[in-house]
Amino acid sequence: MSNTDTTQPVLELRSVSKTYTVKQGMFGKPKPLKAINDVSISLKRGEVLGLVGESGCGKSTLAKILLGLEEPTKGEVRVDGEVIGATDRRTLARRIQPIFQDPYSSLNPRKSIEDIISLPLRVHSIGDSNTQDKAVREILDIVGLPQRVMRTYPSQMSGGQRQRVAIARALIMKPEIVICDEPTSALDVSVQSQILNLLNDLRAEFNLTYLFISHDLAVVEHLATRVAVMYLGRIVEESSVGGLFDTSGHPYTQALLKSVLTPEAGKGVPDTELGMEYPNPIAPPSGCHFHPRCPMAMTHCATVPPRPVPTPEGHVECHLFDTENGHDTGTPLMREGV
Amino acid sequence: MSDATTNMTSDPMLEAIVGPTPGQMLRKRIFGHQGLMIGVVVLGILVLVAIFAPLLAPHDPYAQSLMARMKPPVFLGGTWEHPLGTDHLGRDYLSRLIYGARVSLMIGVVAATISGVIGTAMGVAAGYFGGKVDAVVTYLINVRLAMPVVLVALAVVAILGGSLQVVIVVLGLLLWDRFAVVMRASTLQVRGREYVAAAKAVGCSTPRILMSEIMPNIANNLIVVMTLEMAHAILLEAALSFLGLGVQPPTPSWGLMVSEGKNMMLFEPWMVLIPGAVLFVLVLAINLMGDGLRDVTAPENRS
Amino acid sequence: MNSPLLRVKDLTIDIPVGGGTLNAVRGIDFDLNRGETLCIVGESGSGKSLTSLALMGLLGGRIKRTASQMEFDGIDLTKANSKTMRALRGDRMAMIFQEPMTSLNPAFTIGNQLMEALLLHRNVGKEAARARAIELLEKVGITAAESRLSQYPHQLSGGLRQRVMIAMALMCEPELIIADEPTTALDVTIQAQILRLLVDLGREMNMAMILITHDLGVVARVADKVAVMYAGELVETGSADQVFNAPMHPYTRGLLRCIPQPGKTERGARLGTIPGIVPNLVGGVTGCPFRTRCDHAVAACRNAIPHRKPAENHRFRCVHETGHQTAETVV
């Protein structure tokens, strides 16, 4: 990683927020739902940022913003230092491409594999049909598919093969950044490892930058160089993969790590000590959003939102680490029952 | 780690391409579906008859012969000169029936196409864009559903005068509601698929997404509704012609033939039964085809 | 432990398909005692879900099930008619499915659905059933249990719905619970909670449990016994310790190499893979079904495969006496 440290970030999010208005019931008052709340991320070329969090934490919304499928309510997204506005989706498309979770829904069943993979080239009028054909053959080779699949249809392929097609489509325009949204969670174990290996090889070969969204922390630990933990629209901790998995700070990160079920016989199921359910994002808890589930919550956690505290390799948002705010950190808060 | 497990590119190469192409599977399902085959064959015969009407018809369908009025068909003791007899003006019934197929099929196809274009445009727009567009389209659908088709058609034809063109246009402008409802629902379903998001992320324009990502995946529903509306239009034309407000004499139309025969119904029931029967067969064939198409295209959608 | 609660011998499931017969499950054996948890682990298409449905007598009419022995607490399930099975299901055997939203009826309240099984199988009044429902909702960790009874499934979150499913399965204090991927659709944090709950309740009520999953982590943490299923056959069975710490069958070892293991696998290193795909099970299947993907396949793999027993309760099927373990440098 040392060789990339000097370059400017390839992808940068500056205070990005996305607020939806949600109507509850027919006559309910519309309420704001802060899907993403003031998030800043900076990614250098060749890095893999693992984004983890429970469903509803905003990771998919973040992916949509990066792909230009949603506009941020506030803040800006920069690619190579350039601000990406809402208008130039086509420029963004050449730099950022997605790989989706479900290879059964991400390929149009009515189109041949050749049509699916060459679509980006045709949309952006890159080359004539001859060079496009050549490019498709090349990329098939790169993702490890035989050329004879060109004239087949998605329904004729296995899940792993389909995911390779999706990867081929994402890479054919040579993007700099690939957003991988749970790319292996719909695949069988033996196929998952093939796809993870492929993603790793491609990153090394093309110096790609990944945003890797996953709920599987073991996979994130394996593939990522940096990890960001999201909770209710905020990134509560961000660090290098070593910094996070070896010496994690935030109680939520610790709970997530505890919940990973490694295949070790006899260890039993861990107690995450998280207690109650994930809160409703329309009515997030006051103060630190995590305090009702936090085993280490203190009195002022319920009232004062925590600030981002810099750590050696990133930041963490937790009062436990904020030594300068003058609060008494010694009073534990009584937790609500389960 | 052993060699075989590290060679990443080799394994998917070894994987067989499983199963036949979607086209092959569709063909297999089509030929295995009895109802669909019966519908297609019957409809095909009727279409051929309509196309080759001048070659097939034994007489001029307009030629009157007052000497040969009300001749019975062969099976009721008539002669082979007029296999299905003659009507009250002495015109050959078989020839009028054959030319009538042209009118019925033309009305069915053209009216269903007009309403198909209108309804699909509205339904797809509503389903894809949602929001205000959807609200407006839903409102229009509700307005249209509140109008009784036959009554409105009768009124319009009564004002503009009945002719083949007027009937086609009126029916075309009235029968789009089912297209709009079905296309809206199917678009809503397809819109959320990840391949649509992928196309957006690639930078596809909205018309391109609609035409190449959405349309091919809802076309099967469109075809099914199309057949149903064809049958609907054919029946409505027959009804309007029967009431004297559709196709005008002397144009040979099955509805008109029933209408002209109804005065004689008690004495010569075949004059009503023959055009009624072919109308029934045509509509049945179209509906069999529609049902069959729904059956053979549905499993692909589910997978 | 004289006689096990559930004994299955030579269970075979055949599904007639267009071009012949799909031999989906072929001759599997296992025993299960009260209070024990058996995990059946396998990839999609291995027949693990069919096996669970076969035990519950829930296979479709076209699917043919044969077994030389299938006994639940002395009741011969191979001869049981639908009336006997109905009496067993929901009373002494219960099932938990992967997607609670589709297995709960959206038109009825949680309370109605919870009480239904009890009212059906036991001679109890509505009040007693209601009390039991509240008791169980509290037991599965649902707060304000009484008010939840009048709620509908869509008003609950995924984790809560799965808890309701578990409470429903427990209403009649079944002796056997079959859970088919009960936590696959849930977040990792909720998954851990639900699994803990299942394990604790199983222990407390001395229930036998069959857990069907593809997640090796879940298996390792929950199972007393593990059965690794591949293409319709049990390729390896044993205690969790035996299967995870001394895996014998090449498929088991291959699976364990495929998943990144925090602390064991080097970050970013190449993961093991199992090349190829599951064989087509239509028509006769002979020999070892894994031979097309196995590194150690030899000509003898086409013939009948011997059952091997390296230790008490540990069995696997392979032509190689040690599953050819020594041929691999990394295990």
Distances (CA, A) of C181 to A136, A222, C198: 38, 24, 13
Convert B36-84 into a string of H (helix), E (strand) and C (coil): HHHHHHHHHHHHHHHHCHHHHCCCCCCCCCHHHCCCCCHHHCCCCCCCC
Q: What is the pLDDT of residue B164?
A: 85
Q: Do C227 and C301 fall into the same domain?
A: yes
Q: Do C159 and C295 fall into the same domain?
A: no
How confident is residue A243, by pLDDT bands cut at 50, 70 and 90?
confident
- The predicted-structure confidence for A121-136, as pLDDT tens digits, reads as follows 999 988 888 999 999 9
CB C47 within 8 A of CB C232: yes
Q: Domain limits at C16?
A: 6-92+172-327
Q: How far apart are CA C47 and CA C311, in angstroms?
A: 26
C83 Cβ neighbours under 8 A, 6+ residues apart = none
Q: Do C59 and C133 fall into the same domain?
A: no
Q: Which DSSP category does A101 fall into?
A: S
Domain ranges of chain B: 98-303
Residue that wins the pLDDT comparison between C18 and B163: B163
Domain assignment present for C1: no
Q: For the purposes of burial, counting CB atoms within 10 Å of the CB of A12, is it exposed (0-12), middle (13-18) or buried (19 or more)?
A: buried
Encoded amino acid at B255, one letter: G
Which residue out of A61, A110, A150 would a mutagenesis test of the B interface target, given it has the greatest number of B Cβ atoms within 10 Å? A110
Q: What is the pLDDT of residue A198?
A: 92
Which residue out of A190, A217, A239 would a mutagenesis test of the C interface target, given it has the greatest number of C Cβ atoms within 10 Å? A190
Tokens 């990339």, residue? A4
Q: What percent of chain B has pLDDT over 70?
A: 91
Using a CB–CB cutoff of 8 Å, tell me whether C272 touches chain B.
yes
- The predicted-structure confidence for A51-106, as pLDDT tens digits, reads as follows 998 888 888 889 888 888 888 898 888 888 888 775 577 888 888 999 998 888 89
- Judged against a pLDDT cut of 80, whether residue A3 lies above it is answered with no
CATH number reported for the structural domain that contains residue C25 in this entry: 3.40.50.300
- The CATH class of B98-303 is mainly alpha
Residue that wins the pLDDT comparison between B12 and C320: C320
Q: Residue B82 corresponds to which tokens in the numbers above?
A: 């007029």
Q: Which DSSP category does A125 fall into?
A: T
Q: Do C113 and C240 fall into the same domain?
A: no
CB C228 within 8 A of CB C255: yes
Backbone region of residue C208 per phi and psi (left: phi > 0; alpha: psi in -120 to 50; beta: other values): beta
> For chain B, what is the mean pLDDT?
84
Distances (CA, A) of B290 to B30, B176, B202, B284: 12, 17, 36, 10
Q: What is the pLDDT of residue A6?
A: 54
Bridge pairing between strands A314-317 and A234-240: antiparallel
Q: How many CB atoms lie within 10 A of CB B165?
A: 10
Q: Residue B250 corresponds to which tokens in the numbers above?
A: 């002397």
Q: Where are the alpha helices (DSSP H) in C206-325?
A: 216-222, 240-245, 250-258
C322 Cβ neighbours under 8 A, 6+ residues apart = C248, C310
Using a CB–CB cutoff of 8 Å, tell me whether C269 touches chain B.
no
Q: Residue C177 corresponds to which tokens in the numbers above?
A: 């619970």
Q: What is the pLDDT of residue A331?
A: 47
Q: Residue A94 corresponds to which tokens in the numbers above?
A: 């050449």
CB B285 within 8 A of CB B45: no
Contacts across the A-B interface (CB distance below 8 Å): 107
Q: How far apart are CA B21 and CA A148, in angstroms?
A: 13
Mean pLDDT of A239-245: 86
> How far from chain centre, in Å, is Cα B300?
22
How many domains does chain C fold into? 2
Question: Which of C171, C189, C211 is the C-terminal boundary of a domain?
Answer: C171
Q: Residue B222 corresponds to which tokens in the numbers above?
A: 């469109």
Q: Do C110 and C136 fall into the same domain?
A: yes
B269 Cβ neighbours under 8 A, 6+ residues apart = none
Using a CB–CB cutoff of 8 Å, tell me whether A283 touches chain C.
no
Question: Which of C150, C171, C192 is the C-terminal boundary of a domain?
Answer: C171
Bridge pairing between strands A226-231 and A48-52: parallel
Q: Is the dihedral of CA A52, A55, A57, A59 positive or negative?
A: positive
How confident is residue A179, by pLDDT bands cut at 50, 70 and 90?
very high
Q: How far apart are CA C91 and CA B39, in angstroms?
A: 51
Q: Do C214 and C299 fall into the same domain?
A: yes
Q: Which domains does chain A have, with CATH numbers?
A: 2-321 (3.40.50.300)
Q: Residue C277 corresponds to which tokens in the numbers above?
A: 């795909």
Q: Is the dihedral of CA B205, B206, B209, B210 positive or negative?
A: negative
Q: Do C235 and C245 fall into the same domain?
A: yes
Q: Do C163 and C194 fall into the same domain?
A: no
Q: Do C51 and C78 fall into the same domain?
A: yes
Q: Do C205 and C262 fall into the same domain?
A: yes
Mean pLDDT of B152-179: 88
Q: Do C151 and C177 fall into the same domain?
A: no
> For chain A, what is the mean pLDDT?
84
Q: How far apart are CA A215 and CA C239, in angstroms?
A: 29
Distances (CA, A) of A77 to A84, A209, B303, C209, C259: 6, 15, 37, 50, 34
Which residue out of B26, B29, B195 would a mutagenesis test of the A interface target, given it has the greatest number of A Cβ atoms within 10 Å? B195
Mean pLDDT of B203-232: 90
All residues of chain A having their beta carbon less than 8 Å from the beta carbon of residue C269 are: 222
Q: Residue B100 corresponds to which tokens in the numbers above?
A: 């009538």
Task: Compute φ and ψ for A74, nearest 5 degrees.
Answer: -140, 160
CB-closest option in B5, B16, B18 to C272: B5
3-state secondary structure of C8: strand
Q: Do C139 and C160 fall into the same domain?
A: yes
> How far from chain centre, in Å, is Cα C64?
20
Which regions in chain C score pLDDT beneath 50? 1, 329-331
Domain assignment present for C114: yes
Tokens 């449990």, residue? C209
- The predicted-structure confidence for B140-155, as pLDDT tens digits, reads as follows 999 999 988 888 888 8
**Per DSSP, what are the bridge partners of residue C16?**
C21
Mean pLDDT of A211-224: 90
- Helix (H) or strand (E) segment spanning residue C85: helix C82-88
- Judged against a pLDDT cut of 50, whether residue B13 lies above it is answered with no
CB-closest option in B1, B11, B16 to C275: B11
Tokens 């109804």, residue? B262
- Judged against a pLDDT cut of 60, whether residue B7 lies above it is answered with no
Of the listed ranges A294-303, B32-41, B73-82, the least confidently predicted one is: B73-82
CB contact under 8 A, A68 and B198: no
